[in-house]
Amino acid sequence: MELSGNRRQVTGFALVAVVVVAGVLLSPKFLIEQVKHVKQTPILAGGLFLAVYLVRPMFAWPTTVVAVAVGYVYGPVVGFPAALCGTVMSAYLPFVAARYFRVDSGIFGRLGDSGERFFDTTGDLRGMIASRLFPVPSDAVSAAAGLSNVSDGSFLLGTAIGEVPWMVVAVLAGSSLDTLSLDGIEDNWMLIVAAALGGILLLAGPAYRAYTDDQ
């Protein structure tokens, strides 16, 4: 049964609240402990990672944490494509949910309108790549894209391209660990700065054209 606009917004806010509470109650350390138990059984680990990528948005676990665990189990050759595919699949879930909860009024409507103006300026694909390069929570980017009516193809391709540097570093970090740990996983400031600069460069052209059009 199709929900009305108001009920859809209320349901959307309730879902966000559930994610926040779930993220507080169950930290990524739970995942790390489970991975340690299945490291010697790659097939069993594959089933675990598939389940983790499907439920990850419900706990707002960072995609880089899961990618480190994938690299720890499989190494860089198998781990990189596995982590990238899992990340794209996992990011698609909040994207679809946000697109369903998008309405023309209320806070979701205003956020969607703002996002549409951004993507109208940058183009869907360029905007998605740049958004992924910036060091912001993955699920927030996915939700914003869903509220902004970004096309499926641009979302999936832009996510895959923009996540490449994050996945490379995370998988390599995981593959080099003797003991899986969360310590230092997200403290690579050089990567954060480099990726952010890449996002800025991608947006520089559209921003300049938008500025000159307004003059």
Q: What is the per-residue pLDDT across 30-88, written as a single tens digit (0 to 9) for each? A: 788 888 888 888 889 999 999 999 989 888 888 988 999 999 999 999 999 999 999 99
190: Cβ contacts below 8 Å, ≥ 6 apart? none
What pLDDT band is residue 93 in, cutting at 50, 70 and 90?
very high
Is 182 strand, coil or helix? coil
What is the pLDDT, as a whole number, of residue 9? 61
What is the pLDDT, as a whole number, of residue 122? 87
Q: By mean pLDDT, which of 156-160, 169-173, 192-196 is the weakest? A: 192-196
pLDDT (tens digit, 9 = 90+) per residue, 106-135?
676 777 778 788 888 889 999 999 999 988
What is the pLDDT, as a whole number, of residue 126? 92
State the Cα–Cα distance between residues 171 and 168, nearest whole angstrom.
5
H or E element in which residue 40 lies: none
Q: Which two tokens stand for residue 158?
A: 């832009």
Is pLDDT above 70 for 208? no
What pLDDT band is residue 15 in, cutting at 50, 70 and 90?
low
- Compute CA 126 distance to the chain's CA centroid, rounded to the nearest angstrom: 16
Q: Would you tell me how many other CB atoms lie within 10 Å of the CB of residue 125? A: 18
State the Cα–Cα distance between residues 183 and 109, nearest whole angstrom.
39
